[in-house]
Structure 1
Amino acid sequence: MNITKNFLTIETPTGPFDLYVASPEIKSPVILVFMEAFGVNHHIQSVCERLAQEGFMAVAPDLYHREGRRIVVDYANREAIFPLLGKLTNEDIIEDIKGTLKFLKDLPMADLSQVYSIGFCVGGFMSALGATKLDIKRMVSFYGGGMVRPREGFKIRPILDDLKHIKGQTLFFFGGKDASITESDINVLRQTLSRDSVPHEIVVYENGDHGFFCDERKSYNAEAAVDSWKRTLEFFR
């Protein structure tokens, strides 16, 4: 399938806001792709391109745009993400999602009757947060932290009390070896979704660590990555 891929820019009062967009050359359902803490890097762009090959318009907003344009942090330089990550707020994330969807209304190839989302790491949190506030038909979250417990030094707030507002289907992936998201956290999430009657599936890969889906990270787990991608495509279809 022929696809187009490039950055598009929204002008905002706080400066340019870039979106990486990969799309087939026909009108297509939209999938919002939320970045890891490392930015809209090669991995996130490749996820967009893979989704475009499957028939979706994939759009990755640069959620660090208030700090600068297209900021990307190397996976080996983990400490550098915290000053950026620590400034993100729930309100700014929602504002940026709304701004993205408003911008997409002017793109003739964007079918906004079906909007889905997927996110990785802090993007997993963003994907779930967006589904609590907006009409996201199907939401996927890969190892999204911060949903259950507040984290010291971060402004983003847990969303347990807001999960009841999710209207669409949800799919969560976690790694059993992920020290940043405990089994207790996952159980609390599962109990809350069940209590609030939110349609959900939670998949835990016992041998997976944080970042297991990304083949550019040391924590990559091929078995978990292949299976979760297959499940993701089936879910979106």
Structure 2
Amino acid sequence: MTAVQGTAVDVPAGDGTADAYLAHPADGAARPGVLLFMDAFGLRPRLRSMADRLAGEGYTVLVPNLFHRHGRAPLVDLPELIDPGARPELFERITPMMRELTNERAMADAGAWLDWLAGSPVVAPGPVALTGYCMGARLSLLTAGTYPERVAAAAGFHGGRLATDAPDSPHLVAGRVTAELYFGHADQDPSLPREQIDRLERALTAAGVRHRCEVYTGAPHGFTQADTAAYHEEGDERHWSALLGLLRRTFPHGG
């Protein structure tokens, strides 16, 4: 693994300035860019460690605070082990912030994140890759369809509401996606029932998108997050294998 440098950075966004975490190889050389979309629990040590691991593989990784309109992270007092079942008040705080992050706002922000990466001296020129978790998986798909010329690959893990009946459902951008996509779905995830999994698969196939969608048997919603009660070690390691494989295919001469 390559030595890693991690720093807090501020990124200009349409509604002000967003705090973010940047991780990259410590040699300072320009590397392929990766934009990591957080889950609902926000920018915190677990996501920084995930960014560090990707940076150790040779990528420059930006993890923005998607709830920046509400302040700098952390916005919620999180326990050492996050168990929403035992702490329902967490989602009482988080849910309004999620609802206020509309597709329009999120995609305006995504343009800002991509602009910042494009202007960074530690990011190699050209399209970047995306990876997202829970709500971030949805944003990964939307960003791939909104900025196709700027996204070379996109992944999403234990995402919810990816293919609903709503007129702004993420799967409806499939026809604009040019990136290779990978989705690792949680088994028996109430936020992504089988009919949505099938609808997403049909949409991507019909649009001719290079993709793979897999259901991780036995893995609950949130399975990659080691600081939560949903953590599933086998599913997490499978996620790393799939994500790193996607990145190596996308950037065969970098990373």
TM-score (norm 2): 0.86
Match of 2:180 in 1: 169
Match of 2:15 in 1: 14
Does the CA-based 8 Å contact 2:161-2:196 persist in structure 1? no
Deviation at 1:79, TM superposition (A): 2.9
Residues in 1 aligned to 2:13 and 2:203: alpha-carbon distance in whole angstroms: 36
Does the CA-based 8 Å contact 2:161-2:191 persist in structure 1? no
Residues in 2 aligned to 1:145 and 1:50: alpha-carbon distance in whole angstroms: 25
Aligned match for 1:30, one of 27, 33, 37: 33
Task: Say which structure, 1 or 2, has more relative contact order (CA 8 Å, 6+ apart).
Answer: 2
SS at the partner of 2:116?
A: helix
Match of 1:3 in 2: 4
What amino acid is aligned across from residue 197 of structure 2 in structure 1? Answer: I
Residues in 2 aligned to 1:12 and 1:170: alpha-carbon distance in whole angstroms: 26
Q: Deviations over 1:25-79 (max 9, x none)?
A: 2210000000001111122111111100000001011111111112443234233
Deviation at 1:106, TM superposition (A): 2.9
Q: Deviations over 1:152-188 (max 9, x none)?
A: xxxx931222111000100001111212211111011
Segments of structure 2 that go 5 or more residues without pairing to the other structure are 84-89, 249-255
What amino acid is aligned across from residue 206 of structure 1 in structure 2? Answer: T
Q: Which 4+ residue blocks in structure 1 deviate beyond 6 angstroms?
A: none
SS at the partner of 1:215?
A: coil
Aligned match for 1:137, one of 131, 152, 157: 152
Residues in 2 aligned to 1:228 and 1:10: alpha-carbon distance in whole angstroms: 28
Alignment of 1:64-143 (within 5 A): 64-73=67-76, 74=78, 75-76=82-83, 77-134=90-147, 135-143=150-158
Q: Deviations over 1:189-220 (max 9, x none)?
A: 11111111111101101201100111111111
Match of 1:149 in 2: 164
Q: Deviations over 1:68-101 (max 9, x none)?
A: 1124432342332101111001111111111122
Match of 2:200 in 1: 189
More moved, 47-56 vs 10-19: 10-19
Residues in 2 aligned to 1:82 and 1:50: alpha-carbon distance in whole angstroms: 29
More moved, 95-104 vs 9-18: 9-18
TM-score (norm 1): 0.92
Segments of structure 1 that go 5 or more residues without pairing to the other structure are none
How many residue pairs get aligned? The number is 233
